[in-house]
Amino acid sequence: MSDVPVALVTGGATGIGAACCCRLAGEGFAVAVHYRSSGEKAEKLAAGLDGAFVLRADLAVPEEIDALIVQLKERAGRVDVLVNNAGANVNAPMLAMKIGDYDAVAQLARGTWYLTKLVLRRFMLRRGRGRIINLSSVVGHTGNPGQIPYTMAKAGLDAFTKSLAQELAGRDILVNSVAPGLIDTDMSAELPDEVRDRILERVPQGRMGSPDEVADVVAFLATRASYVNGSVLHVNGGMYGG
């Protein structure tokens, strides 16, 4: 087994995930760049990072997560840091949303739970250490009209963080959330202009954040935050303080 620590970043091909991959690679991690549909972007990103490799899986499908774990075992033999970044969103009012829209978000939330369970069982618990970092969202705390399944999933992710940290008490496996505010990504670009402007009015710094600003906090939790556990770190320019 290599002495190089390994970080798995889900949804790592674009946006905040890609920034996390770059930042963790700079910290000396071999990064497993997970993707579902952005294969070309994932390959290009990994090609520019020492020791990085790509893994594809639809996290809504348990069998594909099983296969991803097998590949991780073969390619790296370890996972020291898991960054649960992959997310799904549907922008629609409550009364216009279909069950399938809700299920698309909920199934990915279930996949985050299942992937984390397998990473713990196959890698972290055997090594006796690890870091799990969940990317939630400020809207899981404030709410946001037109994003009810997304806000439910993100609020649940923070509850997952707190509960899992307590379950793993006494072990050197720390679990934390990073809750970004309005960040300049493809997902925020999909918001209607009036929604984005309404959110910006609530940000004291008066601007969107960058993916790199979120990745800095993720890297801190992955490498230096030895006494931070079960916490939600807000990265939102003062929009919400928790």
Residues with catalytic roles:
150
Coil, strand or helix: which one is 217?
helix
Q: Residue 238 — φ and ψ, nearest 5°? A: 95, 5
Structure tokens at 198: 């309404």
Q: How far apart are CA 189 and CA 237, in angstroms?
A: 18
Give bridge partners of residue 7 from the DSSP assignment. 31, 81
Under DSSP, the state recorded for 209 is: B
Give bridge partners of residue 133 from the DSSP assignment. 83, 176
Q: How far apart are CA 87 and CA 182, in angstroms?
A: 15
Question: Taking the CB of residue 56, how many other CB atoms lie within 10 A of it?
Answer: 17
Closest-CA residue to 11 (of 39, 49, 48): 39
Q: How far apart are CA 59 and CA 147, in angstroms?
A: 20
Q: How far apart are CA 182 and CA 190, in angstroms?
A: 12
Q: How far apart are CA 97 and CA 104, in angstroms?
A: 12
